[in-house]
Amino acid sequence: MNINPAVLTPQQASNYIGINSEGDALKSSRSTGVLWGVSAPKFIKAGSKKVLYRVSDLDNFLAQFESYTNNAQVGQ
């Protein structure tokens, strides 16, 4: 049985968006509200310490960025 979770831990969320990290690479963005020069992904605060990220919020975060088919398009 393969279950796709609706929420991820900070470490899982970091990996999901492509930050290769053993820890919580999103921690500073929760304080500043900024990651990679844009609004950081939304997060859930469950209780006093538990932090979770909705997969849908991570997808929305990634959607802020342009996608390209080749490097020539990047500078346009």
Q: Has residue 73 been placed in a domain?
A: no
Q: Has residue 76 been placed in a domain?
A: no
How many domains in the chain? 1
Q: Has residue 54 been placed in a domain?
A: yes
Give the Å distances, CA to CA, from 63 to 21, 30, 39, 71: 21, 19, 12, 19
pLDDT digits 0-9 by tens, 26-71: 999 999 999 999 999 999 999 999 999 999 999 999 999 988 889 8
Domain assignment of residue 17, given as a range: 7-68
pLDDT for the residue numbered 76: 67
Q: Which residues have a Cβ under 8 Å from the Cβ of 23 and sit 6 or more positions away?
A: 11, 14
Q: Has residue 2 been placed in a domain?
A: no
Q: Has residue 56 been placed in a domain?
A: yes
Q: Has residue 20 been placed in a domain?
A: yes
pLDDT for the residue numbered 29: 94
72 or 16: which leads in pLDDT: 16
Q: Does residue 11 carry a pLDDT above 80?
A: yes
